[in-house]
Structure 1
Amino acid sequence: MFNPQLLHFRRTFTVSAAAYTNFHENWRFFLAMGHLDEALTLFHTSNIHHTPQTYADFFHACARHGCLSQGQSLHRHMLNIQSQIYFIPSMYVYNHLLNMYAKCGCLEHARKVFDEMPERNIVSWTALISGYTQINRHEEGFAMFSQMLAYCRPNEFAYASVLSCCNHKFGRQVHSHTMKTCFVECTYVANALITMYSKNDDGKSICNNYPHEAWMIFKFLMSRNLVTYNCMIAAFQIRGKGEEANGLFSLMRHNSNIGFDRATLLSIFSSLLTVKDHGNHVSTQCIKYCSQVHCLALKTWFTSEIGVITALAKAYADLGAQISDLYDLFLETAGRRDIVSWTAFITIFAEQDPVKSLLIFSKLCQENCTPDLYTYSIVLKACSNLVTDKHTSVVHSQILKHGFEDDTVLANALIHAYGRSGSVSESKKVFDFMLVKDIVSWNSMIKIYGLNGQPKNVLKCFDQMDINPDSATFVALLSACSHTGMVIKGTMIFETMSKTYGIVPQQDHYACMVDILGRSGRISQAQKLINEMPIEPDSVIWSAMLGACRKHGETKLAKLASKKLQELDPNNSLGYVQMSNIMCSNGTFNKAVDLRTQMNWLGVKKDPGLSWTEIGNQVHEFAAGGLHQP
């Protein structure tokens, strides 16, 4: 009797060794390069018998390159031959198939494969747990780990996978289990425990508490590697303990043979900002330390990585380094930039030097790199810091060119940028053409009318709102009333926000009201409002009061406001400068000099006054008292 399966069996042995060799060479090349379509074609057209290893290799490549459709195609083929001939995939093949679906985020298919497996091992369980944690389905991942304990003993990979999805409550349970199974001394597991404990209880949020539990694991771990140090440094950085992060980095370099890598540098650069917040002297020290780490990065060639150079530039910018030095860093990245790094540098310059920010954006366009929505929003932020709407118009045309005109976030940014340069009519055009107006759109338009002294349009825009106002709406309204001197209307709006709309006044609302009353000379009413506030007044409120006192010559209350402002915001020059000016106006020049001396001794610096002029399509910036262009 004719047996086709026997013929197939005999044919596989007649294929030459050269054909097998040629197939596997091409097969490995296609998989390594991620050419999965070509690999599939080779698979279906080759005249050889395919082993389970062939299937496993392909599923592994699909998982590595994220090629779900090609993996599903081979999976269908595998199911088809199962029904035609006696072919049962091994657990090894099933695990690779399961891992492919999990890595590609297709957990329903992964779970189906898992449930249909004739037998499972620790690799099967770990692949599924890891898949759940990668797409933030933490409860399901932890539930799978709990089920697994009834069938097999966890290994280090299973522990690490489940710890990545745990908050402190469940993480401590897993930690306890690692101690029972003696895996707590495993470096791989300890690294995962340190990372878990470095997070807040919700698993995500940053908090400012010392990471005691993470530190204890690190301290008593006998065998540490680079990842261990990186995890602990990152834990300090996440918790806002920059000094400890820098100290551990120094200890790591001097007391161990372990080097550092890209992740180490990124954590160190991020941690410098938390140290800088301790004062101006510390900020200077941070810039010096940042320069030292910069030198280390240069020596070890890590500055060739665009991510490192971008993080370094951001650190320098946050610490207040010279803007020219940052631009030199940007020039060093030529030929290695992607849209993320372009946007990062544009963001760095948007506040400190908007002209250079726009210059970088121009270079981006010249290099045929397409900006995304976030890039445009940052560029428009830079435009809003300039006095001309010419640059906003250019960016607006680029937005239209790339088809982003219907994006609400960009439209809101355009309204703000045009309005800040005084082009209220252009802001109104953008507003009118918006397909979807959100609360930010209405708030921006109200704010623009207020900034440009159009009180009637402020109230008209508020009356036309077709959505419920929020807290920011009333800040914009009260700010507009302050700029336009509408005391009675501002008072009515302040009372209406809680009575009619149920919005409880916050610090910003009280600051606006103090400014409204203070500007109009109602100093006693402003003081009464501050005294009756249900919340403690912040520096913005006392700043508004101090400005009102200076305007109307109220020296006694000005001293109180200045004192409070210095206590709440000691690095802000406003409290010192305003009080010094009041003393000069009263003729007490010696006291004014003493206050300025105290300000200099404390290292408090006044931001210089700036002026802008546009010549030949270029905006030039000048500092007050300067002899040349900066």
Structure 2
Amino acid sequence: MKSALTPIAVSFSRIQKTAHQGQALRRRVQARSLTGVQPFDLYAANHLINENAKCGRLDIAHQLFSQMPHTNIVSWTALISGYAQYGHADECFGLFSEMLFHIKPNDFAYASVFSVCDYKRGVQAHGLALKTGCDGLIYVGNALVGMYWKNGSNSGAEACRVFEEMDIRNLITYNSMITGFGMHGQSDKAISLFKRMFYDGVDFDRVTFLSLNSSICGLDNVVGRLCCSQLHCIGVKIGLGLDVGVATALVKAYSSVGGDVGDCYKLFLETTSSQRDVVMWTGIMTAFSERAPQEALLLYNQMSREHFRPDCYVFSILLKACSNLMTERHAAAVHSQVIRVGFVNVPVLNNALIHAYARCGSIDDAKQVFHEMPLRDIISWNSMLKAYAIHGDAEAALNFFKQMDVVPDDTTIVALLSLCSHTGMVKEGTELFETMLEKYGVVPQLDHYACVVDILGRAGHLTEAKKVITNMPMEPDFVVWSAFLGACRKHGETRMANLASSKLKELDPENSLGYVMISNIYCSSNNFDQGGLMRNKMDRFGIRKEPGLSWTEVGNRVHEFASGGQRHPWLEAICVYLEELLRQLKKIGYVPTTSLVLYDVEEEHKEEHLYHHSEKLALAFSLMNAGGTFSNGGVIKIMKNIRICIDCHNFMRIASIFFQKAIIVRDANRFHHFKEGACSCNNYW
């Protein structure tokens, strides 16, 4: 039984609250309370155990507990909670088991044990809670929900069962469930539970709001943008609109579901400079890194002017932005900053540098970073392997793979399969796919299936590719069907293309790929009526095709070109130059591939349409300004947002002979290095 509160107990309690004045005083108080100098006082002893346990002095707390002539529920719970607080699962569970021989656990003891135990122990403790009738207590129920989300199946079935069986639920219960759904990729269930919580009149808080924003990142773009807008409105109504953490979460959510980066920037501007922290800055730079990388670098400059010290994550985002830019000079500038602040040997940044340099076309710089790394992990090897793959250097990639001193993982296999796809190594690619589980212990996932479908499809083995899709143990995703549709287009297979196109429309109704590619297949076979019908459907549904754009850097300035040339002020001069260039190239073997023109027009108009493809305009502009102000060492670099067409590929190849210049074109899939009439892809892409 708990002893009465005596004056000596009160005095001990007060002394303990001021015991931070010195360790000597604390030791005197402990000795006085547990020796025969004064009568033993349970209240004071429990207070000592609780304070030491909370402060992490678990050995002292346990020693005090062991010396007590008798204990009560408070004594046991204080020590168990201390071990749980500092993550000592074995000691916590052992003490809880010992407690059962002396006293019945209360809800706080159960909650502490559930917070640190694994699944097996958690189930045992859950069974005990059911027997003793403690499972209906709110603290126990909340702790059980958290335990099952942490240790149970990814579906969260056990957590859901506990949630539904609870007679009383509070905000913590709902927050635990919403967070669990979000962390396990069940975003739709997290949103549904929030609606239920909202309609049931349960007030939500900042934690709810942040968890929901994280969940939105897993939704598809259409639903995700709608949920973002709704949550944003709710946040403003309840006064969370100006909270920097909420604003950061909204920026991340908007950008992850394809929201307008302009909206993200408006959110950013709604916070004051004094409110912003490095996490907020990182969030807005992340939003811009892919769709407006130049703006991400400008934001970094602004952050520096406001005297924020960048961390490793900031630099990794900057390097991600650099990987989406034309040349390596921006990556080199960030590299110098990394060295200046002392992050030179941080593996995550070196891995990001390898990726950035490779994506900017400078594989030599990527190799140098790799070879200078004192420590390399699997990501380092995979980054370098992917670099060789996108540049089409099959021999170097295979030799590099043989030198790997770490165990290959699923990403390694994806890089190798991608290399086989780009270089036409059908036998090697299919053998790797069939033996990857046996040789490397890697279970085939969606990315691996997409690669092998691409390998077979590009090579014209469409029936085999279709068989792979049919036999997949999981549902094919957008990438798998788009790989198959691309193969159907390459080989003019209309029947199978219709199936792939319909699947793409089901998976992502807003994406134009399924409509555009099937329309192109019809037009390539001179079925312009069917091709036109597909384009009309796109117009009716408000679906817009991504325009063909190209970029080239001249005089440290990036110039953008669209097919037709509408985006450049020098269009007239470029077209005049291009017409003369075309005449010269025709003399040495260039023949326009007019079969690619997807309109039923005269042959001369087809040629005219081909002449205004964006990459041809970019090349002409670079050559017009070839007085030493473009690119690196006489190499012309062009970046394109979609796949380069056969005609432009031939045009670049012949131009590299005529001008005796290296031309590098980076399209949506890979790099094409044109030199002396040959391409690194060996005309297979």
TM-score band (shorter)? 0.7 to 0.9
Contact 2:177 2:190 in 1 (8 A): no
Q: 1:398 aligns with which of 326, 330, 337?
A: 337
CA distance in 1, matches of 2:562, 2:64: 68
Are residue 290 (structure 1) and residue 244 (structure 2) matched?
Answer: no
Cα separation, partners in 2 of 1:294 and 1:536, compared to 1, 3 Å = closer
Q: 2:287 aligns with which of 348, 369, 381?
A: 348
Q: What letter matches 2:193 in structure 1?
A: A
CA distance in 1, matches of 2:86, 2:360: 44
Secondary structure of the residue aligned to 1:371 is coil
Cα deviation per residue 1:541-599 (whole Å; 9 max; x = unaligned)?
33222212212222233223334444555565423321121112223333334434555
Contact 1:283 1:319 in 2 (8 A): yes
Contact 1:550 1:578 in 2 (8 A): yes
1:12-51 alignment runs, 5 A limit: none
Q: What letter matches 1:587 in structure 2?
A: N
**Shift of residue 108, structure 1, vs aligned partner:** 4.0
Contact 1:306 1:336 in 2 (8 A): yes
**Shift of residue 335, structure 1, vs aligned partner:** 1.2
Q: What letter matches 1:396 in structure 2?
A: H
**Shift of residue 418, structure 1, vs aligned partner:** 0.8
Cα deviation per residue 1:479-499 (whole Å; 9 max; x = unaligned)?
123223444554565567567
CA distance in 2, matches of 1:287, 1:102: 43
Q: Which residue of 1 aligns with 2:455?
A: 516
Cα deviation per residue 1:72-111 (whole Å; 9 max; x = unaligned)?
6764565688999947885445444433443344544443
Give the TM-score taking structure 2 as reference length. Answer: 0.69
Cα separation, partners in 2 of 1:118 and 1:472, compared to 1, 3 Å = same
Are residue 169 (structure 1) and residue 123 (structure 2) matched?
Answer: yes
Q: What letter matches 1:329 in structure 2?
A: L
Are residue 321 (structure 1) and residue 253 (structure 2) matched?
Answer: no
Secondary structure of the residue aligned to 2:151 is coil
Secondary structure of the residue aligned to 2:283 is helix
CA distance in 2, matches of 1:593, 1:209: 49
Q: Which residue of 1 aligns with 2:619?
A: none
Q: Which residue of 2 aligns with 1:363?
A: 302
Cα deviation per residue 1:270-323 (whole Å; 9 max; x = unaligned)?
44456x44x73x4454244123213214xx3x3343222212222333343321
Q: 1:466 aligns with which of 405, 419, 428?
A: 405
Are residue 56 (structure 1) and residue 16 (structure 2) matched?
Answer: yes
Contact 1:470 1:503 in 2 (8 A): yes
Cα separation, partners in 2 of 1:125 and 1:581, compared to 1, 3 Å = same
Q: What letter matches 1:326 in structure 2?
A: C
Cα deviation per residue 1:148-173 (whole Å; 9 max; x = unaligned)?
34434544433433343465624633
CA distance in 2, matches of 1:497, 1:212: 36
Contact 2:462 2:488 in 1 (8 A): yes
Cα separation, partners in 2 of 1:82 and 1:141, compared to 1, 3 Å = closer
Q: What letter matches 2:336 in structure 1?
A: S
1:436-455 alignment runs, 5 A limit: 436-455=375-394
Contact 1:478 1:490 in 2 (8 A): yes
My pick for the range that moved more, 85-94 or 358-367, is 85-94
Cα separation, partners in 2 of 1:192 and 1:584, compared to 1, 3 Å = farther
Are residue 148 (structure 1) and residue 99 (structure 2) matched?
Answer: yes
1:31-110 alignment runs, 5 A limit: 52-58=12-18, 75-76=26-27, 86=37, 91-110=42-61
**Structure 2 stretches lacking a partner, 5+ long:** 1-9, 569-685
**Structure 1 stretches lacking a partner, 5+ long:** 1-49, 63-69
CA distance in 2, matches of 1:235, 1:449: 39
1:149-228 alignment runs, 5 A limit: 149-165=100-116, 167=119, 169-170=123-124, 172-173=126-127, 175-176=129-130, 179=133, 184=136, 189-194=137-142, 196-197=144-145, 200=148, 202-203=150-151, 206-207=154-155, 209=157, 212-217=160-165, 220-221=167-168, 226-227=171-172
Contact 1:194 1:217 in 2 (8 A): no
Cα separation, partners in 2 of 1:464 and 1:616, compared to 1, 3 Å = same
My pick for the range that moved more, 570-579 or 206-215, is 206-215
CA distance in 2, matches of 1:468, 1:513: 22
**Shift of residue 519, structure 1, vs aligned partner:** 2.8
**Shift of residue 56, structure 1, vs aligned partner:** 1.7
The number of residues matched between the two structures is 552
CA distance in 2, matches of 1:625, 1:100: 75
Are residue 264 (structure 1) and residue 208 (structure 2) matched?
Answer: yes
Contact 1:571 1:604 in 2 (8 A): yes
Give the TM-score taking structure 1 as reference length. Answer: 0.74
Cα deviation per residue 1:349-405 (whole Å; 9 max; x = unaligned)?
334433333333333333333333333323322222223322222221222122222
Q: What letter matches 1:158 in structure 2?
A: A
RMSD after superposition = 4.0
Q: Which residue of 1 aligns with 2:82?
A: 131
Secondary structure of the residue aligned to 1:307 is helix
Q: What letter matches 1:203 in structure 2?
A: N
Contact 1:233 1:248 in 2 (8 A): no
Contact 1:455 1:484 in 2 (8 A): yes
Are residue 407 (structure 1) and residue 346 (structure 2) matched?
Answer: yes
CA distance in 2, matches of 1:204, 1:112: 35
Q: Which residue of 2 aligns with 1:388?
A: 327
**Shift of residue 125, structure 1, vs aligned partner:** 1.8
Q: Give 1 or 2: higher helix fraction.
A: 1
**Shift of residue 423, structure 1, vs aligned partner:** 1.1
Q: Which residue of 2 aligns with 1:476?
A: 415
CA distance in 1, matches of 2:165, 2:439: 55
